[in-house]
Amino acid sequence: MLAESAPTRFRDPQIEMAHGAGGKASRRLVEGLFAPLFFGAVPGPLGDAAQVDINGTKVAITTDSFVVKPLTFPGGSIGELAVNGTVNDLAVSGAKAEALVVSYVLEAGLPTPVLEAEVRAMVKAARDAGVRIAAGDTKVVEHGKADQMYVTTTGIGRLLHGVTIDPRSVRVGDRILLSGPIGDHGITILLARGELDFEADLRSDTRSVLPLVESLVHAAGPGIRWMRDPTRGGAATSLNELARDCGLGMVLFEDQIPVRDNVRGACELLGLDPLHIANEGQFLAVVSPEYADAAINALSLAPGGSEAKMIGEVREQPAGTVLVTTLYGGSRIVDMLVGDPLPRIC
C-alpha cells in the first residue's frame, strides 16, 4: 500500500485548541493522524527528535513552533524560547545542536522594534547555547492572523557519544531525575498575561539544558535510558508518555519534587498542579540504579544543576501510569490533561 493511502485513527471532526496543548488530545492527533501517515503502521515510541543517517553519519533533527502570548515576559521572550526549545529537544534526544534554521510568520502591523528585539534575543540565546542560526524564512500574513508573530525553529545536531535514548530500555528499579524546580515558566506566562491580576517575583526558566545533559552523559551515559524536556503539559505529560511507551509505572515522591515557594503559592491559589505546568529550562531523565548516584551528583555539581533531585523510581505497578506518593502513605494518579491547565475557584 502506498504510504499516503495508509489508514488513520484520528476521528475528531475538526482541530480544536486542545490538540495543541501537549496533552491527551495532542497525543491523539499525533498518534492517530501524523504518525500512521508519516511513519507507517508501527512507528514505535515517538521521541523529541528524529535520527537521520546521512552516508553513515547519524544526525538528529527536530523542529518546534513557538506561539506565546505575551511575546515577552519576565525571564525571556518568544525568540529565546524558540532557540532554547529546539536546542533542548536535541539535547534530551542525546544530541548536541549544531545549527538552527528559523522561520517567521509575522502579522502585518507588527512594529519593527518588536521584531528586531526578538531577533536580537535569538542571537543572544544562540550564542549562549553554543549554536549557530544558519538560515531563515519569513512570511507575512494579514493583521489578526498571527498573534504578532509565530516562530518555528528547526535544529540539526550530532549525536553525543555514550548515550542511547529508548523508552523501551526502561526497567523496574530505574530512577527518575529532575534537573530543577518545575512550574516557573508556565506560571510566569500565566501571570504575565495580566488577566488574573496576580504578581510574583518569578521568571521563566528558559535556558539551554545542553550543558547539564552533557555533564549527565559524561558521568552516567551508559545508564541513561530516556530523557525529555517537560514543556507544554508539564512533567506529568512527559512521564505519562514514558509510562505508556514502556508499560511500567512511574512512582514519584511528592516531597522530593522541587517547586519554588511562589510557584507553589500560585498553584495553590489557582488550583493548579505544578506537574501540569510547562517548563522551558528543565529536563527529566530515567537512569539505571547503578548510575543513579553518579548522575544526581554530576547534575547537582554542574552550573545550573544545584536544584536537581531524584524524584521517583520506575516500578511494575501501576503499569502505564504516573503515581505520586506522600510520606504518610497517600497516593494519587497524575494523568495527562486534556488541554491547558485552567485556574479554578471550586
> With respect to another protein, which residue has the nearer C-beta, 49 or 334?
334
Q: Which stretch binds another protein (CB under 8 A): 51-59, 134-142, 194-202, 277-285?
A: 194-202
Q: Counting contacts by CB under 8 A, is residue 228 touching another protein?
A: no
Provide CB contacts within 8 A for 194, sequence distance 6+.
Answer: none
Rounded CA gap, 17 and 27, in Å? Answer: 13
Minimum distance from CB of 43 to another protein (Å)? 22
Closest CB to another protein among residues 18, 87: 18
Site string for another protein, 1-30 (x = CB under 8 A): ---------------xx------xx-----
Give the nearer residue to another protein in terms of CB position, either 3 or 196: 196
Number of residues that bind another protein (CB under 8 A): 47
x/- contact string, 310-329, with another protein (CB under 8 A)?
-----xxxx-xx-x-xxxxx
What DSSP designation does 335 have? P
State the greatest distance between any 2 C-alpha atoms of the chain, in Å, as a whole number: 58
Per rule CB under 8 A, is residue 198 in the interface with another protein?
yes
CA–CA gap between residue 96 and residue 190 (Å, rounded): 31
What's the order of all strands across the beta sheet hosting 284-287?
A: 224-228, 284-287, 175-178, 309-315, 249-253, 322-325, 331-333
Enumerate residues 239-298 that contact another protein by CB under 8 A.
Answer: 251, 255, 261-262, 264-266, 268-271
* Residue 195 touching another protein (CB under 8 A): yes
User: CB-wise, 164 or 326, nearer to another protein?
Assistant: 326
Q: Does 70 bind another protein (CB under 8 A)?
A: no
Of the candidates 332, 339, 341, 335, the residue with the CA atom closest to the CA atom of residue 320 = 335
Q: What is the C-alpha separation between 81 and 281, in angstroms, rounded?
A: 9
4, 53, 142, 201: which one contacts another protein (CB under 8 A)? 201
Nearest to 72 by CA among 161, 151, 2: 151
Please return the burial class of 147, using the count of CB atoms within 10 Å of its CB with bins 0-12, 13-18 and 19+.
middle
Instruction: Tell me if 142 contacts another protein by CB under 8 A.
Output: no
- Write down the least CB distance from residue 338 to another protein, Å: 5
Q: What secondary structure letter does DSSP report for 338?
A: S
Nearest distance, CB of residue 173 and another protein, angstroms: 12
Q: What are phi and psi of 265, to 5 degrees?
A: -60, -45
Q: Which residues bind another protein (CB under 8 A)?
A: 16-17, 24-25, 195-202, 251, 255, 261-262, 264-266, 268-271, 315-318, 320-321, 323, 325-333, 335, 338-339, 342-346
